[in-house]
Amino acid sequence: MITRFKRYLTILLLFYSFATIAFAQVDSQLIEYPARNSDNQIPNDNLIIDSEYNLLEALEGISVPYSIRKNLELVTVTYYGFDDKLHQGQLIVHKNVAPEIKEIFDEIRKIKFPIEKVIPLARYNWSDDESMKDNNTSAFNHRYISGTRILSMHAKGLAIDINPEQNPYIKNDVISPPDAEYNPEIKGTITANSKIVKLFKSKGWTWGGNWTSLKDYQHFQKELD
């Protein structure tokens, strides 16, 4: 009697195991699990990749003191280009402002403020002039303020230049980039009433368009406490 019961119990357990495996296989066929990227986000098949470096590649070709390098972080952002398509780019910034840069660019994307491209300066051999001529939006560059021996806020990853062709640096008769023109009627231009200015200011950044001795319409920077 006991032997028969054990045999019956064994058959039930085997049946249960086979049934569980069969249902699991059907389940896996019915559910499609989307692939995810390194940020655990579902990729957009229509995304145009302007930049896809790792931090080591993004810092290639320049000597950066360890005291600065240790604080740098590579941030991947998405934005609408002048072609009205969604793009992916990257900024090197100080790690303390990385979270708010992500938040600001999320809002920039939502309002569809157009940005030409966002590529680390390694692509331009660390030439700010070449980057500006290409209307590239960038952050970190270990360089001095133009005409001085004072390190720029860019050298700390605490400054960003956006759409230089539409938002040039203007001081007296000097305009950078040279062929740029500041016209608030052109898309991609930053003005005092732009939502992008309000976004940066809400996070404690200052805008070069508010400066009096010169105008740097492309430029945002932040002092850390």
Please give the DSSP secondary-structure letter assigned to residue 154.
G
Cα(96)–Cα(100) distance, integer angstroms: 9
Confidence class of residue 145 from pLDDT cuts 50, 70 and 90? confident
Cα(31)–Cα(34) distance, integer angstroms: 10
166 and 118 inside one domain: yes
| Model confidence at 112: pLDDT above 50 | yes
41, part of any domain: no
Asked if 161 and 219 touch (Cβ cutoff 8 Å), the reply is yes
Q: What is the pLDDT of residue 149?
A: 86
| Model confidence at 25: pLDDT above 50 | no
Query: Please, what sign has the CA dihedral across residues 169, 173, 177, 180?
Result: positive
109 and 155 inside one domain: yes
22 and 116 inside one domain: no
| Model confidence at 20: pLDDT above 60 | no
| Model confidence at 130: pLDDT above 90 | yes
Q: What are the two backbone dihedrals, phi and then psi, of residue 10, each rounded to the nearest 5 degrees? A: -65, -45
- What does the block give as tokens for 142? 């270990």
Neighbours of 181 (CB within 10 A): 10
Cα(54)–Cα(198) distance, integer angstroms: 30
Task: Give the predicted TM-score (pTM) of the model.
Answer: 0.80
| Model confidence at 183: pLDDT above 90 | yes
Q: What is the pLDDT of residue 34?
A: 32
Which amino acid is it at 42? I
Cα(39)–Cα(182) distance, integer angstroms: 36
pLDDT digits (tens, 9 = 90+) for 184-215: 999 999 999 999 999 999 999 999 999 999 99
Q: What is the pLDDT of residue 11?
A: 55
- What does the block give as tokens for 209? 């368009």
89 and 167 inside one domain: yes
Neighbours of 20 (CB within 10 A): 10
What percentage of the chain carries pLDDT values higher than 90?
A: 76
Q: What is the pLDDT of residue 44?
A: 65
Please give the DSSP secondary-structure letter assigned to residue 213.
S
Tokens 């980057």 sit on residue: 131
145 and 57 inside one domain: yes
Q: What is the pLDDT of residue 203?
A: 97
Q: What is the pLDDT of residue 7?
A: 57
Domain residue limits at 14: 1-33
Choose the weakest-confidence range: 8-12, 117-121, 152-156. 8-12
148 and 106 inside one domain: yes
- What number is the average pLDDT over the span 88-109? 98
| Model confidence at 218: pLDDT above 50 | yes
Cα(225)–Cα(205) distance, integer angstroms: 12
pLDDT digits (tens, 9 = 90+) for 167-182: 999 999 899 999 999 9
| Model confidence at 108: pLDDT above 60 | yes
170 and 138 inside one domain: yes
Count structural domains, the chain: 2
43, part of any domain: no
22, part of any domain: yes
26 and 87 inside one domain: no
18 and 98 inside one domain: no
Asked if 188 and 171 touch (Cβ cutoff 8 Å), the reply is no
79 and 8 inside one domain: no
27 and 55 inside one domain: no
